[in-house]
Every structure is written in C-alpha cells, then in structure tokens.
Chain A
C-alpha cells in the first residue's frame, strides 16, 4: 500500500512554485497528489514532482467552482480519492495560505508549512507510526481549542454551526482540539471511515461561495476547518502539534 496521498487546493496564480519551495519534502514524499483549483491558469502552473514521473494516476488536477475556499477543494479531492484511488496509510492536506486580509499572513503560512519541512515531516510521520493514538499532526502554534466545557460552547462565531454539525454527524469528541488553517497530516482511515457513509460532496454543497470569512458570523466553511479534527477525536484519536 503506498504511503501518502496529498490533497492540495490552490487559488492564487504563482502558488505552485511557492509551495514547491516551502513544502518540497512532502511533495517528494507523496505517492499521489490530487490538486484542485478554480482556474485553468493555476492548474497549468503545476509541474509534476520528479518522484511522481511515470507513475499512473499519481497527479490529478481537478477544476472546481470557487465554493468553500480550500475546504471546498479538499472535499472534492476527498470524493475523488474515495472513488478512484487506491487507499494510502496517510493523507496530508495543504493549500496556498495567503490570507490577504490579515496583517500577519506570512507568519501563518510559515508556521503552517513548517510541518512539511525537511526536518519536521519525518518527525510527524514518526509520531504517527510510533503512537497509534495520534490521528492528526499539525503545526504546534496552530493547535487550538475553543471549547469551553463548563458552558458547553465554542468560543467562536461558528459555535451554532459546530453544534449543529456535531449533532448531525453524531460526533463524540469531547476535547475538540483542532489544527487551525487545515494544513496537517493524518491517518487516511479516519476520513475513509467517515466519508464512506457521508458524501464529501454533500458536505461541500453547504459551503459558502467565494472569499468567505467568519469574523462576524459563522460559516460552514470555517466549521469544517474544525470538523476534520473532530472526526479524528470521534474515532478515539488525538491531535498533536509539533
């Protein structure tokens, strides 16, 4: 069984070469890459990594409508993975973290991408191999928890939607740690188990269109950002930051 499937969503032109530079280690390590983007010019920039040259079904490019930002692209990629790919041990999620609306966007992207650096990627994989309780590994600086157990609420504008989704999907995580930014590596079987009964595309259908933010009101897009990790907790795994 090949080891790692990488799901990447790109929105901005020029992102591929940026990721090639920042996340070279994971691009080399991946046995399969599923790339989603909203426009042809972005997809045209993608150059298959040398490690994948000649491999059948190793690099797939999908053109998806601009819905749910990177989460929408990743859910479309999950659907493709579930339907057409041989299953791998691990899945890594990545996107071009630009966030032009934030003052410290560079800090965000550098911290998040550090997981996939030459130094940290082997550490993350080692953690997953050695400790079977760990389900997802991400950047430590973005391991977050918004849950307030005493009040049974989430300290975020997405509180209502999160409660609704936890109820609808019958999740029993309890801890509710998550990796903000949705850039992480995790065990594939977490997502395979969930998406074998729930359609990723039905989840995608609910996401908001365009460049949506959750500053004032909650969104399905930002709730799903948290839910990926809640799925792991529901299945008894923990979330780890490095």
Chain B
C-alpha cells in the first residue's frame, strides 16, 4: 500500500536532484490513501489491464446509488471503486503519471472497429490531466502489445496532433536490486534525463528499489563533482529549452487563432456595418423631415433630450440660414 509517508523524501536525506525520472509501477487499487506523494519528482505508472472496465463498473455503481450503506458490495465492486478513486487522485494530483494498459481490450466490439468505451474514456480522461506525461506536449501511451488502430484513432480524434507510443520492451526497467548499480552507471551518459520504470514484487519493494537507485546515483555524483555540475547545468538548460518550446507552441496557436479572427473581422465587421447602415437608411432616413423634427420634441418631452440642446440646435440652424453663404457651404448637411 502506497502513501504520502512511503514516497516522501526519507532518511537518506538525498538533496541532489535525480539524474533520471522515476516511474513507480503501481496498481491503482494500491493507492487508497487520500494523498499522493508530496515529492512531485516521483512519477507513477498505473498498471491494470482492467482499469477502464473497473471505472465503468464503479460508475454504474455510483449511478444506481449503491453505496456501502445501502447494500453489501462485491469484491469486484470494491476493486472498481478503489481503481476509480485512485485514478481520480492521479488525474487531480500533482505527481506526473501515465497509464500502462497491457494490451488492446479483448472485449472490444469488433463490429464498431473501436476500443470499448470504458478503456478509451479512461485513457482519454487521464490524458486530459495536467500531470499526464507528455513529450513536447504530446501525450504518451506506453504498451507491451501495440494498441489497436481503432483505439489510437479515437484518442487522436480528441484533438492531440499525435499520441506518442512507447514500446515498453525498449524502456529502461528496474525490477531488482542487482540491476541498480549497472543502471546507475548508464544514467549520467544519457542524452536526456531518462524515464525509468521501477517495479518490485510489491509497492514497498518498488519504493525501496527507487531509494536504492537514488542513493547510488547520489553517491556516484558526489564522488565526481565536475560530472555533477555538468549534469545539473544540462538538466537546467533542458528544462529551459522545454519551457521555451512549450511557450512557442502556445504562442503559435494563439497567433494562428488571432489571425483567423482578424480575417473574420475584416469581412464580418464590414457586413455588420452594411447591415446597420441599410437598417438606418430604411428605418430613419426615409422618414419625412417634419416627422423627424416632431420626434425631437417627443424626445424632449420624454426626457431623452434636454430642451436647452434642442433650442441651441434650432438657433444654429436659423443662424446658418440667415448668415451669408461661404463658397463650400453646399457641402454641409443639416444634421437635425
């Protein structure tokens, strides 16, 4: 059972940033606690072939109002609830995570050539999480057996330009203490901070493996200060580059949207103006002059215009008619 206590920084007091990115392989039902790790450098890889189905079962359970108070619940329903709660915590939490669906779901409806809703929707909702692992803003779907084209199509139809696939056979794995030393030696030479999947026989041993790797890397770097300095600088630069790339993507999208809007405004504002102008011409300008002047009196009576302003306007008009005409006076309009 994993908890904040388990994966928070421990007595090893390792202050050096990890030169790798850990992904603790967990079963969602092992995450019943209300709080996940406070160490946001710890990533989680939720493994369960039946996650989607579990969530769907639990969803129906909630929809029909079957709570623990009302009826005894089956083990399957309990499992489903724990899965759902764990995924909810992952989606809303602060730790980076991803899903490890084993394989395309066998229960898919072949007539529809698409993945079953439960699995598809669960993956998509996880990918909507801010913490779901992305590379260059593209969500990652790891697999041991390639996902079905139907599933990939449905995911991509949600608007991601692509879904990055990770073949887990080519990923870095840490599954036993005997691998720690060898793996730690390869990490500093990696071009990027590598993602490392860590999986022990149970959650406690998984955490112990991560601790061992972290300790080993720390000792290695402490023994070699220039390497440590170089790695730190490289990681900082990488983070800056990633941030700039991300900002660039957002700015590009916003600029594209703004350009589209400007294009629309160019034609639509003109159309709106034409509509407004024709309405004015038809509804007001065609009225006889006496009617419009009578309207000014009504405006004064209803308080929409002051008497003073009307008197001033009349005086101006009279003055214009009595004053000698300037050569360009024919250009002026009577603006009643």
Question: Chain A residues near B87 (CB, 8 Å)?
Answer: 84
As a 0/1 sequence over residues 23 to 39 of chain A, the CB contacts with chain B under 8 angstroms (1 = contact) are 00000000000001011
Minimum distance in angstroms from B245 CB to a CB of chain A: 13
As a 0/1 sequence over residues 78 to 90 of chain A, the CB contacts with chain B under 8 angstroms (1 = contact) are 0110111011000
Question: Chain B residues near A43 (CB, 8 Å)?
Answer: 130
| B195 interface hit (Cβ, 8 Å) | no
Minimum distance in angstroms from B322 CB to a CB of chain A: 41
CA distance A79 to B91 in the complex (A): 13
Given the contacts A83-B55, A100-B261, A103-B272, A65 and B158 also touching, CB distance less than 8 Å = yes
Given the contacts A40-B130, A103-B269, A201 and B120 also touching, CB distance less than 8 Å = yes
Minimum distance in angstroms from A219 CB to a CB of chain B: 14
Q: Which of B87, B130, B159, B265 has the most CB of A within 10 A?
A: B159
SS class of chain B's interface: helix, strand, loop or mixed?
helix
Binds A, one of B14-22, B186-194, B252-260, B303-311: B252-260
CA distance A204 to B127 in the complex (A): 15
Docked-complex contact A41 and B250, CB < 8 angstroms:
yes
Given the contacts A84-B88, A103-B272, A79 and B125 also touching, CB distance less than 8 Å = yes
Question: Beyond A63-B130, A210-B256: 10 further Cβ-contacts under 8 Å?
Answer: A60-B91, A61-B130, A63-B128, A63-B129, A64-B158, A65-B158, A65-B160, A76-B158, A79-B124, A196-B63
CA distance A82 to B58 in the complex (A): 11
| B154 interface hit (Cβ, 8 Å) | yes
Question: Chain A residues near B59 (CB, 8 Å)?
Answer: 82-83
As a 0/1 sequence over residues 182 to 221 of chain B, the CB contacts with chain A under 8 angstroms (1 = contact) are 0000000000000000000000000000000000000000
Docked-complex contact B62 and A205, CB < 8 angstroms:
no
The residue that B154 contacts in the complex, of A76, A83, A205, with Cβ under 8 A, is A205
Docked-complex contact A213 and B264, CB < 8 angstroms:
yes
Interface residues on chain B, number (Cβ under 8 Å): 36
Interface residues on chain A, number (Cβ under 8 Å): 42
Question: Chain B residues near A210 (CB, 8 Å)?
Answer: 256-257, 260
* Chain B, residue nearest A59 (CB): B92
The residue that B268 contacts in the complex, of A56, A82, A101, A196, with Cβ under 8 A, is A101
Question: Chain A residues near B117 (CB, 8 Å)?
Answer: 199, 202
What are 25 sample pairs from A and B whose C-beta atoms fall under 8 A apart? A38-B253, A39-B250, A43-B130, A57-B88, A57-B92, A61-B92, A63-B129, A64-B128, A64-B159, A65-B160, A76-B125, A79-B121, A83-B122, A84-B88, A84-B91, A87-B63, A101-B268, A196-B63, A201-B124, A202-B117, A204-B158, A206-B157, A209-B159, A210-B257, A215-B264
CA distance A199 to B92 in the complex (A): 21
| A186 interface hit (Cβ, 8 Å) | no
Q: What 5 A-B pairs have minimum CB-CB distances, sorted nearest first?
A: A65-B159, A67-B159, A205-B157, A62-B128, A84-B88
Question: Chain A residues near B128 (CB, 8 Å)?
Answer: 36, 62-64, 76, 80
| B82 interface hit (Cβ, 8 Å) | no
Minimum distance in angstroms from A206 CB to a CB of chain B: 8
* Chain B, residue nearest A82 (CB): B59
Question: Chain B residues near A57 (CB, 8 Å)?
Answer: 88, 92
